Amino acid sequence: MIAPECGEAFFYNEHKILGHKLKPYCLYHHFVLDAIKSPLMTGGQVGVIDLYIAILICKQSYPISFKVLPSPNWWSILLNSFRFGYYQARYKTSREVSKFRSYTDDYCSRPYFWEKKDGKKADSGVPDILTLMVALMVAFKYTEAEAWNCPLGKAIWLTATNSILNGAESRIISAEAKAFMDSMKNGRS
């Protein structure tokens, strides 16, 4: 039985937000949004401008051109004032933010791991997203662009499976065990 999370990591839906078609949510999208401290990543209040910037990033593949982001010059400010006004009139921001979260969830389906008894994880100081990118390059001979453009959930499943095949202890909860735990949580046995 294939865990639904595994299948979800390899099968995707098309996503459109504010009328823009997005590329698969990949390692680099996550890295950039985290680096710029997007409220979509930090959990802060998300406005139409924040959403628009995230869409401009997620419409592209690695390497991303930052020239498409709004600049502080007067022409860009004027043009984007009209654009943001249109988006606020045409789209309900909260619904579009919800669609963005569905988009990232669609591409970030990851395995459930058994927790260690102490619950502590050694911190290497290297961001997890960078570790995944390098792991794809080393284990699967991905180019830098292929690794950065790999959907996040797929990267996690591939690197976890590769680790297990190379002798790491399996910490992934099987589909059967997850189904049993869910049934117990819901009061069914």
Mean pLDDT of 96-105: 95
Cα 121 versus chain centre, distance = 21
Q: Is the pLDDT of residue 16 over 60?
A: yes
Dist CA 21 CA 162 (whole Å): 32
110-134: pLDDT as tens digits = 777 766 666 566 667 788 999 999 9
The two structure tokens encoding residue 71: 């600049």
User: Can you give the pLDDT at residue 10?
Assistant: 83
pLDDT at 178: 62
pLDDT at 141: 97
pLDDT value of residue 41:
95
Rounded distance, CA 112 to CA 119, Å? 14
With cut-offs at 50, 70 and 90, classify the pLDDT of residue 171. confident
- Read off the pLDDT of residues 147-159 as tens digits, 9 standing for 90 and up: 999 999 999 989 9
Predicted confidence (pLDDT) at residue 21 exceeds the cutoff of 90: yes
Record the pTM. Answer: 0.82
Residue 62's pLDDT is 96
Q: How far apart are CA 147 and CA 27, in angstroms?
A: 8
- Distance (Å) of CA 69 to CA 37, 149, 151, 164: 15, 19, 22, 41
Confidence of residue 187 (pLDDT cuts 50, 70, 90): low
Whether 84 has a pLDDT exceeding 90, the answer reads no
